[in-house]
Structure 1
Amino acid sequence: MSITLALMGLALHMLIWEKLPDWGAWFNWLIERLPKPLAYLYKAWHCPFCFGFWAALTLHALTGVYTIEHLATMPEHLGVVGIPIAWFLDALATALLIMFGSLCFSAISGPAIKGYQLKQSFHTKTNEDGLA
Structure 2
Amino acid sequence: MNFTLALMGLAIYILLWEKLPDWGKWFNWIIDRLPKPLAYLYEAWHCPYCFGFWISLFLHGITGIQTIPDLATMPVYLGVAGVAIGWFLDALATATLIMLGQLLLNAIAVPAIKGHQMTTEFRLSFKNKESN
TM-score range normalised by the length of the shorter chain: over 0.9
Letter of the aligned partner of 1:48 in structure 2?
P
Task: Indicate the residue corresponding to 1:99 in structure 2.
Answer: 99
Q: Aligned partners of 1:128, 1:77: CA distance in 2, in Å? A: 75
Task: Indicate the residue corresponding to 1:64 in structure 2.
Answer: 64
Shift of 1:44: 0.3
Task: Indicate the residue corresponding to 1:113 in structure 2.
Answer: 113
Letter of the aligned partner of 1:63 in structure 2?
T
Within a 5 Å distance, the mapping from 1:1-132 to structure 2 comes to 1-74=1-74, 76=76, 78-130=78-130
Backbone CA RMSD of aligned residues: 1.4
Shift of 1:77: 5.2
Contact 1:75–1:83, Cα closer than 8 Å, also in 2: no
- Name the % identity: 63
Shift of 1:42: 0.2
Shift of 1:122: 1.4
TM-score of the superposition, structure 2-length normalised? 0.94
Shift of 1:120: 1.1
Q: Aligned partners of 1:127, 1:72: CA distance in 2, in Å? A: 61
Shift of 1:119: 0.9
In 2 relative to 1, CA 72–7 (structure 1 residues): closer, same or farther, beyond 3 Å?
same
Q: Aligned partners of 2:76, 2:63: CA distance in 1, in Å? A: 20
- Unaligned ranges ≥5, structure 2: none
Shift of 1:75: 5.6
Q: Aligned partners of 1:104, 1:8: CA distance in 2, in Å? A: 16
- Unaligned ranges ≥5, structure 1: none
